[in-house]
Amino acid sequence: MNGLSGLDTLVFVIYFVLVAGYGFWVYQKKKKASVSASHDYFLAEGSLTWWAIGASLIASNISAEQFIGMSGNGYFVGIAVAAYEWIAALALIIIAVWFMPVYLKNKIYTMPQFLKQRYNETVSLIMAVFWLLLYVFVNLTSILYLGAIAISGLIGPEYLHLVMIGLAVFALIITLGGMKVIGYTDVIQVAVLIIGGFATIYFALTIVSEKFGLGRDAIAGFKTLMAQAPDHFHMILQKPTAASSQEDVNKYLILPGIAMYFAGQWIVNLNYWGCNQYITQRALGADLQTARKGILFAGFLKLLMPIIVMLPGIAAYVLHQNGELQKEMIGATGTVNQDNAYSAILSFLPSGLKGLSIAALTAAIVASLAGKLNSISTIFTLDIYMKYFKKKDAATEGEGAEKNMVWIGKIAALVSIAIAVIFEWKDMLGISGEGGFTFIQKYTGFISPGVFAMFILGMFWKRTTGAAAVAGLLTGFLLAIFFNSFAVDLLGHENILYTAFKNKDGVYEIPFLINMGWAFFFTMVVMIGISLAGPKINPKAFALDKEMFKLKPAVIAMIVATLFILAALYVKFW
């Protein structure tokens, strides 16, 4: 590995052997179990403990989009980007308390299955296709590209495509073992991720303190960051005025201050954590108490993530502003690229620790890719292949049919990762131009409003109809496009709904989180209006009772602890 010492390489090889070896051991052990092949591959069928569920949720969630994309936003905007992580902790409480009982009582295993069971086949099929396209062309591609950029930046840019293939193959190997292998190897992945992440930020802070003549003192380094970049330590950005700089406007377009907390921020988190096959799949095979504890444990870990993935970006910003990292922060276009912030910080690390940090980054990328691939396998196999392609006269039960389902899932995973590699070989989707984290949030936002409206009304309002769901899905998508591309031209750049600002290209733009909020609001209005024309209780409505939502003392304690820490963070950095 060019640019890495022998010790760095050794540390990375140990990580690879440990994960691969443990995964193989879990795979061999599960082959002897009595659980059906398909349920074991797709869901791990209740075999994950609460701590494995929580660790797997975080390992799959924290990937290149956070390490690279969020660190890049940390460089550009600062701590305000932590809202995505800290509000996620609150969203996970809502998911654990109210969403999971509905899923588990109704034996929901995939999100399209939820839509079929609650609405109809049409809604289910539309969303299955939507999710597959989103996972392949937005999630897989962005994670793979950003990960390859980051790691190749440390070992040599000429290795970009080799790293891309290596990450794809490693993730595919983990995926082929099924959800149980993914879940338990994720425990190692998240341990490496957290240890390597905290080691990286510790050294980053000591580097900052040394550069400012304060010795090797991490606390002094953090205080230096706050003193050198005070504007980077405010959670709520102020709305730009006529006197605001273009840079302040660009920041607000990404994170529109207090307004985002009344708009898209909730939709982003509740849709991602509660209506997303990729995430909910980890808990759907467990019992309610195990699922709840696992989800709340993940919420607690989310509170730590900004330290690992966002602070390195602020450290890179301060160092760059004071004459360091001038070469490391330059992107392929010859200008400063914020997504280079994390790898720029890693370039400072000593021998051995750099290998650990690359292992942590690889762990995050591989775990996330493997989780996405397994979700693609599950949705394609259970919600498309088994319903529309499997021959009706073929055996529908028995060991042969079970193995056939697993093979179809594995083929779907292979094809998906191959497509992602092809599209990102030359960054055909333009991810580098958007900024990785913003790219994912923005384009996911085109379907999030309609999807979340369908789920929230479908779960908790018995009157919601299938016709309303189809209308809501289409309305949410069309409104997202309208607000992003046509609203300013037709309605002007300022009205009661929004204020648009000129972006870096001089074009008026509405913050995408505001767009998402209004798309969701009007979608809800449409769905409620259509449902009111139907029966008072839809025959497909889920049966709910108070017992489903009762909490045990241990769960309440976890919730209170999370809320206390979250409140303290917002009071400190408001």
Q: What are the φ and ψ backbone dihedral angles of 323, each rounded to 5 degrees? A: 95, 0
Rounded to whole angstroms, the Cα distance separating 50 from 31 reads: 22
Rounded to whole angstroms, the Cα distance separating 529 from 345 reads: 53
Rounded to whole angstroms, the Cα distance separating 471 from 434 reads: 30
Rounded to whole angstroms, the Cα distance separating 520 from 542 reads: 23
Comparing 2 with 429, the larger pLDDT belongs to 429
Contact 276, 111 (CB under 8 A): yes
Contact 538, 463 (CB under 8 A): yes
Contact 453, 472 (CB under 8 A): yes
Give 29's pLDDT tier (boundaries 50, 70, 90). low
Q: Smallest Cα–Cα separation from 153: which of 7, 315, 330, 321? A: 330
Contact 334, 131 (CB under 8 A): no
Q: How many Cβ atoms are within 10 Å of 330's Cβ, its own excluded?
A: 14
Most confident of the ranges 72-86, 501-515, 516-530: 516-530
Given a cut of 50, whether residue 35 has pLDDT beyond it is no
Q: Smallest Cα–Cα separation from 307: which of 570, 71, 54? A: 71
Query: What pLDDT score does 47 carry?
Result: 56
Contact 461, 531 (CB under 8 A): yes
Q: 3-class SS at 496? A: coil
- Averaged pLDDT for residues 95-103: 91
Contact 496, 562 (CB under 8 A): no
- Of 72-86, 168-182, 238-252, the least confident: 168-182
Contact 509, 502 (CB under 8 A): yes
The helix (run of H) or strand (run of E) holding residue 502 is strand 501-502
DSSP of 271-307, one letter per residue? HHHHS-HHHHHHHHTS-HHHHHHHHHHHHHHHHHHHH
Q: What is the pTM of this model?
A: 0.80
Q: 3-class SS at 111? A: helix
Rounded to whole angstroms, the Cα distance separating 346 from 362 reads: 13
Given a cut of 60, whether residue 61 has pLDDT beyond it is yes
Give 558's pLDDT tier (boundaries 50, 70, 90). very high
Chain-centroid distance, C-alpha 98: 21
Rounded to whole angstroms, the Cα distance separating 318 from 329 reads: 12
Residue 449 carries which DSSP code? Answer: H
Rounded to whole angstroms, the Cα distance separating 339 from 91 reads: 27
Distances (CA, A) of 200 to 62, 229, 360, 361, 413: 16, 20, 10, 11, 32
Distances (CA, A) of 345 to 24, 302, 312, 319, 359: 34, 22, 7, 9, 15
Where along the chain do its domains lie? 6-388+429-444+544-573
Chain-centroid distance, C-alpha 429: 19
CB-count exposure of residue 33 (10 Å: 0-12, 13-18, 19+): exposed
pLDDT tens digits, residue range 345-398?
Answer: 877 778 777 787 777 777 778 777 887 888 888 888 888 888 777 754 444 555
Rounded to whole angstroms, the Cα distance separating 142 from 432 reads: 9
User: Percent of the chain scored above 70 by pLDDT?
Assistant: 86
Q: How many Cβ atoms are within 10 Å of 2's Cβ, its own excluded?
A: 10
Query: What pLDDT score does 46 carry?
Result: 53
Rounded to whole angstroms, the Cα distance separating 506 from 520 reads: 28
Comparing 433 with 539, the larger pLDDT belongs to 539
Rounded to whole angstroms, the Cα distance separating 353 from 203 reads: 9
Rounded to whole angstroms, the Cα distance separating 499 from 510 reads: 7
Contact 565, 301 (CB under 8 A): no
Contact 364, 64 (CB under 8 A): yes
Most confident of the ranges 177-181, 328-332, 465-469: 465-469
Q: Which CATH number fits domain 6-388+429-444+544-573: 1.20.58.110, 3.40.720.10, 1.10.10.10, 1.20.1730.10?
A: 1.20.1730.10
The 3 state secondary structure assigned to 366-392 is: HHHHHHHHHHHHHHHHHHHHHHHHCCC
Query: What pLDDT score does 430 carry?
Result: 66
Contact 52, 294 (CB under 8 A): yes
Q: Which two tokens stand for residue 275?
A: 């209506």
Its sign, for the CA torsion 512, 513, 514, 516, is positive
pLDDT tens digits, residue range 127-155?
Answer: 888 888 888 888 888 888 878 877 777 77
Give 1's pLDDT tier (boundaries 50, 70, 90). very low
Contact 545, 286 (CB under 8 A): no
- Averaged pLDDT for residues 184-202: 75
